[in-house]
Amino acid sequence: MKYIRLKDGFVMQTDNPQNWEGCEVLTNAEGKRLMAESAKESLLKILKPDDTVYTVLRHVSRSGMMRRIDLYTFKDDKKIYLSGYFAYLRGEEPPKDGYRVGGCGMDMGYHLVHGLGYRLFGDGYSLRHEWI
């Protein structure tokens, strides 16, 4: 996969950059950085301090040491999927079946929401968390 920047400035990944006429092929580091910036901008448009981020447990490993959790919020009675934005914000690939979280002994959904709040607002306690 290659990162490319389209003529309008939009950054994306593709296996076939030659199919995108006039695009700029980016290095992996630059592509990840720009995707993280874009994800943060998008998340700041969606989330404000004191908003609630909902978590959904998708899977727990047999050992109990890994979970897959998705992040959502609701605006105007519409569900907004946040897991992909969060992954790009962290410089990772978007999850296919829930954001992967390792470890146990604490509320991992809260852990994700706390990390999201910290990255967006510099304060991990700026967002509320609920399981659904």
What are 86-110's pLDDT values in tens digits? 999 998 988 889 999 998 889 999 9
Query: What does pTM read for this prediction?
Result: 0.88
Written as six digits, the tokens of 32 are 């990840």
Q: How far is the C-alpha of 4 from the C-alpha of 65, rounded, in Å?
A: 36
Q: What digits encode the pLDDT tens for the residues 1-56?
A: 899 999 888 899 999 999 998 899 999 999 999 999 999 999 999 999 999 999 99
Domain ranges of the chain: 2-35, 47-131
Phi, psi of 79 (to 5 degrees): -80, 130
